[in-house]
Structure 1
Amino acid sequence: MVKLAAKCILAGDPTVGKTALAQIFRSDGAHFQKNYTLTTGVDLVVKTVPVSDTGDSVELFIFDSAGKELFSEMLDKLWESPNVLCLVYDVTSEQSFNSCSKWLEKARSQIPGTSLPGVLVGNKADLAGRRAVDSAQAQAWALGQGLEYFETSVKEMENYEAPFHCLAKQFHHLYREKVEVFQALV
């Protein structure tokens, strides 16, 4: 049994639900806070995620970062050397979806020449009547960027764990590949 640690950057525009997603994941769905204050800087959420079919686990250090440009200079240091990325947008906001390209570029610039595994999360799926971003469009964009796609409703506690389990599995897969390369050299 192996326990790994991975630095996860949680990125996206303000008010897309990044903090709510991190908090409900940390509390195993036991805690949905209706009112949040705007994240200024970074909050750290730590949770161990079992990797299915392995007996191994990944301790995710989830850096929940401010979505405001005002704080972006401060993020550069905190975003150094990420292992995985959780990119979040609001399905009712086309602007938040369009901003994902900028957030993805910023995260990938922290580790030039290296692949950054990640997920794209469309949050607030419970607001179907106000949807502005088509699921198929978002999924196609995610796949084109090498990201897995998920839709969640933190408010309804739907699918909030899936993106993090996927990130743990992606990180574990990279670890296993590196171990195999190392063992082939020995």
Structure 2
Amino acid sequence: MVKLAAKCILAGDSTVGKTALAQLFRSDGAHFQKNYTLTTGVDLVVKTVPVPDTGDSVELFIFDSAGKELFSEMLDKLWESPNVLCLVYDVTNEQSFHNCSKWLEKARAQIPSTCLPGVLVGNKTDLAGRRVVESARARAWALGQGLECFETSVKEMENCEAPFHCLARQFHRLYREKLEVFHALA
């Protein structure tokens, strides 16, 4: 049994639900906080995720970062050397989806010669009548960027664990691939 540690950057515009998603994941879906204060730097959420069919686990260190440009400069140091990325947008906010390109570019710039596995998460699916970003479009963009795509409703506590479990599997797969390379060299 191996326990790995992975640094996960949680990125996206303000008010898309990053903090709510991280907090709900930490509490195993038991707690939806209705009132949030704006994240002004970085909050850290830590949770161990078992990797199915392996006996191994990944301890995710989730850096929930501020979505306001005002705070982004001070995030540069905290974003150094991420292992996985969770991009979040609001399905009712076209600009938050469009800005995912900017957040992805910023995260990938931290490790330019390495593949950064990640997921794209469309949140607030409970607001179906106000949706402006269609699932198929988000999936197509995510696929083109090498990201897995998920949709969630933190408010309805729907599908909030899946993106993080996917990140743990992605990180574990990379670990296994690197281990095989080292064994082949020995």
TM-score by length of 2: 1.00
Per the alignment, residue 101 of structure 2 pairs with: 101
The whole-number CA distance in structure 2 between the counterparts of 1:53 and 1:153 is 28
Identity percentage of aligned residues: 89
Q: Which amino acid aligns with 1:113?
A: S
Per the alignment, residue 171 of structure 1 pairs with: 171
Per the alignment, residue 151 of structure 2 pairs with: 151
Any idea what the Cα deviations from partners look like across 1:88-144, whole Å, max 9, x if unmatched?
000000000000000000000000111000000000011110001000000000000
**Per-residue deviation, 1:151:** 0.2
Per the alignment, residue 123 of structure 2 pairs with: 123
**Per-residue deviation, 1:53:** 1.1
- 3-state SS of 1:183 partner: helix
TM-score by length of 1: 1.00
Match runs of 1:20-31 below 5 Å: 20-31=20-31
Per the alignment, residue 70 of structure 2 pairs with: 70
Per the alignment, residue 132 of structure 2 pairs with: 132
Per the alignment, residue 51 of structure 2 pairs with: 51
The whole-number CA distance in structure 2 between the counterparts of 1:149 and 1:89 is 11
- 3-state SS of 2:110 partner: coil
Per the alignment, residue 182 of structure 1 pairs with: 182
Q: Which amino acid aligns with 1:26?
A: R
Please identify runs of 4+ aligned residues in structure 1 that moved more than 6 A: none
User: Which residues of structure 1 form unaligned runs of 5+?
Assistant: none
Paired residue total? 186
User: Which residues of structure 2 form unaligned runs of 5+?
Assistant: none
**Per-residue deviation, 1:181:** 0.3
